[in-house]
Every structure is written in structure tokens, then in C-alpha cells.
Amino acid sequence: MKVVVISGSPRKNGNCEKMARDSLEEISKNGIEGVFVSLAELNILPCNACEQCSKEKKCPIDDDMEGVYEVLESADGIVIISPVYFGGVSSQLKALFDRTLLLRKNGLLLKNKVGGAGAVGRSRNGGQELTIQGIHAWMHIHGMVIVGDDNHFGATVQHPYEEDEFGRQTLIRMVRKVCEVVKAKS
């Protein structure tokens, strides 16, 4: 069993990466292998709609997405954490989302994987839920099984993460739920 955690911030060691590290700790506590992907470390270019991936399972763009395809395909669960940028996901994360068209076109390869989402913004009500909704839309379009935090929609966190204990609890509960459902399905 494997759960991948994607931090969608371009900032190293920022709130998203800290949330991702806590997620990996919780995944490990649940006896599941965790894999960390940080978009602060990768170069992922936007989809240019060439439609090559409709003809063969290959994207002609030469960047770091190849490794991400492999990690996503091999995962049982996917946790996505984004900063709130103008009420939505970061452009780095949106580029990744659009590039996963290849996985949809070649047999709905993310179907039935368990998905959970989190968002962190500078304001308390800065668009965390809207951002989560955007992540959930990507998950729905891939046919994934979406879970929340057994209360609301997932991890809603206010910057700085270290000082938001309430937000941290929403993250831990969401990750725990992803693990529970991954285990139940295996």
C-alpha cells in the first residue's frame, strides 16, 4: 500500500511542505508507505494541448512529469496540498493537473485511487474550501474516491501552519481517513 503526498507550493520549507511532512508521519503511523513529491523541487511545464497523449501513452514535453506519472500510477492514495492563490490552486499544481490528461486518456489510470485534499492560505477564510473544491474536481474527473476529514472537506489551514492547531487537526483527520479507506479497499 502506498500513499503519495504532493505539496503544490513553489516555496521550499513553506506551509505546504510542512503539512506534507506531517501527512507522511501520519501515513507511516498507519503502516503505509508514503512518498513525498514537492513542486518546489520539480519543473513541470503546462499542457499545450498537442493531444499526443490521446494517440500514445507519451507526453512530448521534456521535464520532470515522467517521474510524477510513475508515482501517481503506483499509488493507492493521493493527498494533494496547495497554497491558496487568488482563491484557487497554485499554477504549479494546475500545470501538474492538466498534464495528467495522459493518465485519463490511457485507461483512466487514477480510477478508484483514494484522494484527500488540503489548502493553506494567509487569511482564515481566504479560499481554502474553494481551493479544496478545485482539487476535488481534478479527483472526480479521474474517477477517484474522494474523502474529507470525517467532518468537512479536508485540511483547511491558516498560515503560519505551526500556529494553527485546529487546521493541523483537519489535516491529520483527512490523512487518517485516506489511510483507512486505502486499507479497507486492499
Ligand X SMILES: Cc1cc2nc3c(=O)[nH]c(=O)nc-3n(C[C@H](O)[C@H](O)[C@H](O)COP(=O)(O)O)c2cc1C
Instruction: Please report, as ranges, the residues that interact with ligand X according to CB under 6 A.
Output: 9, 11, 14-16, 83-87, 120-123, 126-127, 159
Residue count of the chain = 186
Nearer Cβ to ligand X, position 32 or 95?
95
Residue 34: in which H helix or E strand, if any?
strand 33-38
What is the smallest separation between the CB atom of 82 and ligand X, expressed in angstroms?
8
What is the smallest separation between the CB atom of 128 and ligand X, expressed in angstroms?
7
Nearer Cβ to ligand X, position 142 or 159?
159
What is the smallest separation between the CB atom of 118 and ligand X, expressed in angstroms?
11
Q: Which DSSP category does 162 fall into?
A: G
The backbone region for 49, taken as left when phi is positive above 0, alpha when psi lies in -120 to 50, beta otherwise, is left
Contacts of 55 (CB under 8 A, 6+ apart): none
Nearer Cβ to ligand X, position 3 or 120?
120
Contacts of 148 (CB under 8 A, 6+ apart): 116, 154, 174, 177
Nearer Cβ to ligand X, position 117 or 182?
117
What is the smallest separation between the CB atom of 132 and ligand X, expressed in angstroms?
13
